[in-house]
Structure 1
Amino acid sequence: MPAPTPGNLYTDLSAYYDGFCHEVDYAGQADFLQRAFDCLGASGGRDYLDLACGTGQLLEVMQRKGFSVAGLDNSPQMLAATAQRCPQAALILSDLAAFEIDSRLDLISCLLYSVHYSHPVAALAETLRRAYRALKPGGLFIFDMVDKDGIQNRDAVTRLTRDGADFTFRSGWRHDGDSETLELQVAIRREDADGVRNWEDRHRMTAISRSGLDTLMRESGFTTTLLERDFTRLREWDGRSFNVLVVGQKPWDDHAATPDSVR
């Protein structure tokens, strides 16, 4: 077997990222965000930020829904692809726990479990604090998470044929059941007439329980609603599944004027 190719996997293969994610229903995610925002949001605007935006596929759909969009990612290659897809989007090159925006956003999302990239737990807490700071009163931060007690140590496999080559994309979480470190293992195999190349990458992510996340949300100032991770409808979490959609709202306080829609 050929040795893995050195270098950054997502840098080398960013042009193929959309293909690796072809099974992701970005339109369905956008519909869900719209419904949740209409039902639970109360900030009065439509300024939207997607954290870990990748190549901007979700941003593109949200822009068509009438939102003013911005995207954040720590990969310049991903943001370059986003700029081509959404030329009007404001783009931020930053880690999740380092962005600085003050009280001007109505909606923030971080889907595909990307909030777990904030590692360790202290970084996740900082990401939540910064999201809270970035929202207007009544604004929402919506993200998905998996309780560490429900992590399954198995791989998902996606296959893609592009540019005369066959790609196999394999990814999976590994967790020892105890620590706050969750490891994402990613491997990509490219086969064409010239032979085989392999890429491998490992990312440290944060493993946290749902109750632990509840504590962080409360300490950040959010009021929290938990929903089933079902993008087809708004459904309250039944208390049994390990994968949840978290809706955090920045409350109105005595110094903010409550809009007519929530009086």
Structure 2
Amino acid sequence: MSKNALYTDLSGYYDLMCADIDYLAQSNGVRRLHQLFGNEGLNHLDLACGTGPHVRRFIDFGYHSSGLDINQPMLDFAHSRCPEASFALQDMCDFRFDQCFDLITCFLYSIHYSAGLEKLSACIRSAHESLNPHGVFCFNAVDKNRIDNRRFVSHTTEHNNSTFTFRSGWHYPGEGDAQSLKLSITRTTGDVSQAWHDEHPMVALGFEDLRSMLAPYFEVHIFEHDYERIVPWDTVSGNALFVCVKL
């Protein structure tokens, strides 16, 4: 399969794959951070928006939301879910809009899809240029130095008389700025099982390196990866929320 096959050919399974994600809690947690650190504006852009579940929540909160993604099948689903939103087929590492935003989000560790440090730097610059004064860029990230290659997460759900099992895990080879996200889907109908496997190349870096990349453009705040509480990063955990206020 091509590196993006899971998100194009199998895009119809994306919502099932993410069925265990609490989109409301994630969106509400970021909304609270935006209220604390932002400029009180309500123009919102979601990078790598997928099928639009976070966009849906922000619209329900009263934001004027837009989304971008590099895969048109995802955007087709997103438009069906959020007909009042605007969606654009763009690369989050080099995007342009006629308007500026007060909040730019990037959920589900999608910031790492900026394959390579140069691309990640371009993503950061694009976000900075697209924000209004004192706008907020908020995303979650994983520290390459704290990845356990043995750890996978999985969940199972039922759909159309079939059982689906989804499994994912990070893999970092131990050096360099490249890591991968390993994904698999198994569908079982009766006694017949089918499986898809994919491995996505992603950028790898430590949190201090990421902070340094952001610092020329943003006032950077790092919090524990907890959407229910606002707790400063303990400098130990390998997952964190970055809240970046435009300088």
1:101 matches 2:97 = yes
Please state how far the C-alpha of 1:19 moved relative to its aligned partner: 1.8
Question: What is the 5 A alignment of 1:128-207?
Answer: 128-153=124-149, 154-193=151-190, 195-207=192-204
**1:38 counterpart letter in structure 2:** Q
Larger Rg: 1
Report if aligned partners of 1:228, 1:244 keep a CA contact under 8 Å in 2: yes
CA 1:51 to 1:7, structure 2 compared with 1: closer, same or farther past 3 Å? closer
Q: Deviations over 1:12-43 (max 9, x none)?
A: 3222221221111111111111111111102x
Partner in structure 2 of residue 23 of structure 1: 20
Partner in structure 1 of residue 75 of structure 2: 79
CA 1:197 to 1:65, structure 2 compared with 1: closer, same or farther past 3 Å? same
Structure 2: distance between partners of 1:190 and 1:12:
15
Residue number among 230, 233, 242 corresponding to 2:238 in the alignment? 242
Report if aligned partners of 1:103, 1:133 keep a CA contact under 8 Å in 2: no
Structure 2: distance between partners of 1:215 and 1:127:
14
Partner in structure 2 of residue 227 of structure 1: 223
SS in 2 for 1:122: helix
Report if aligned partners of 1:14, 1:77 keep a CA contact under 8 Å in 2: yes
Question: What is the 5 A alignment of 1:36-55?
Answer: 36-42=33-39, 44-55=40-51
Report if aligned partners of 2:224, 2:231 keep a CA contact under 8 Å in 1: yes
SS in 2 for 1:12: coil
Give the superposed CA RMSD. Answer: 1.9
Report if aligned partners of 2:3, 2:199 keep a CA contact under 8 Å in 1: no
TM-score (norm 1): 0.89
Q: Give unpaired runs (5+ residues) of structure 2.
A: none
Q: Deviations over 1:127-166 (max 9, x none)?
A: 0000000000110000011111111112211212111111
Report if aligned partners of 1:41, 1:139 keep a CA contact under 8 Å in 2: yes
Structure 1: distance between partners of 2:82 and 2:123:
25
Partner in structure 1 of residue 86 of structure 2: 90
Please state how far the C-alpha of 1:72 moved relative to its aligned partner: 1.0
Q: Deviations over 1:64-122 (max 9, x none)?
A: 10000001111111111100000011101122202113661000111111101101011
CA 1:249 to 1:162, structure 2 compared with 1: closer, same or farther past 3 Å? same
CA 1:6 to 1:126, structure 2 compared with 1: closer, same or farther past 3 Å? closer
**1:100 counterpart letter in structure 2:** R
Q: Give unpaired runs (5+ residues) of structure 1.
A: 252-263
Structure 1: distance between partners of 2:163 and 2:188:
5
Structure 2: distance between partners of 1:192 and 1:72:
34
Partner in structure 1 of residue 214 of structure 2: 217
Structure 1: distance between partners of 2:225 and 2:72:
30
Q: Deviations over 1:239-258 (max 9, x none)?
A: 2222111011112xxxxxxx
The 10-residue stretch of structure 1 (184-193 or 172-181) with the greater mean CA deviation from structure 2: 184-193
